[in-house]
């Protein structure tokens, strides 16, 4: 690593810190779901439906960037909870439309509100510019890595 410059080393460290970041984020999300009967996977389904409205499983899979078969399992779990429901899809008989129930909508709004309060508290020690720069760097790194692996959409 003698010829690697400091910038490259810092970028490498940034990439490797993504795993502990995601593990800590998932742990925090899990803590926030205590008493809700939701799993992190179910919460993800609720959040996408809340943010984008009704979706099919393939649409959810695309938004979550996860294989459709895995998202189908996530949706099946969430359907049995009563937080989402399915309706026939006039455009595709084998791909029903999933939508939040009133209970699911109220629950995800409460969860997101609590999570945004945590983000508000954490952001107090950071400048708007620092957050914008970090986001710009992460988006650039993800794009660069996806281009190199052929995963770019």
Segment 105-153, tens digit of pLDDT: 999 999 999 999 999 999 999 999 999 999 999 999 999 998 998 875 5
Which CATH number covers residue 41?
1.10.10.10
Q: Is 57 exposed, middle or buried (0-12, 13-18, 19+ CB in 10 A)?
A: buried
**Which of 109, 41, 53, 110 is closest to 77 using CA atoms?**
41
* DSSP secondary structure code for residue 95 in this structure: S
Q: Is residue 1 predicted with pLDDT exceeding 60?
A: no
**Would you give the end-to-end CA distance of the chain in angstroms?**
33
Percentage of the chain lying above the pLDDT 90 cut: 86
Predicted TM-score (pTM) of the model is 0.83
> Is residue 18 in a domain?
no
Does some domain include residue 129?
no
Does residue 139 belong to any structural domain of this protein? no
Res 2: pLDDT:
58
Per the prediction, the chain carries an average pLDDT of 92
Domain extent at residue 106: 29-124
Give 108's Cβ-side CA count (13 Å radius).
Answer: 24
What confidence score (pLDDT) does residue 92 get? 81
Instruction: Note the helical H segments in 17-127.
Output: 18-32, 40-52, 57-64, 68-81, 102-123
């Amino acid at each position: 690593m003698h010829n690697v410059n400091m910038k490259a080393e810092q970028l490498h460290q940034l990439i490797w810190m993504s795993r502990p970041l995601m593990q800590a984020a998932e742990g925090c999300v899990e803590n926030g779901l205590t008493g809700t009967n939701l799993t992190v996977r179910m919460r993800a389904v609720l959040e996408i439906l809340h943010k984008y409205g009704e979706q099919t499983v393939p649409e959810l899979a695309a938004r979550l960037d996860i294989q459709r078969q895995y998202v189908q399992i996530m949706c099946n779990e969430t359907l049995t909870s009563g937080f989402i429901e399915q309706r026939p899809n006039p455009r595709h008989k084998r791909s029903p439309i999933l939508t939040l129930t009133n209970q699911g909508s109220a629950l995800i709004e409460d969860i997101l509100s609590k999570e945004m309060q945590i983000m508000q508290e954490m952001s107090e020690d950071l400048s708007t510019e620092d957050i914008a720069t970090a986001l710009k760097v992460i988006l650039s790194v993800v794009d660069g890595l996806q281009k190199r692996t052929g995963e770019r959409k």
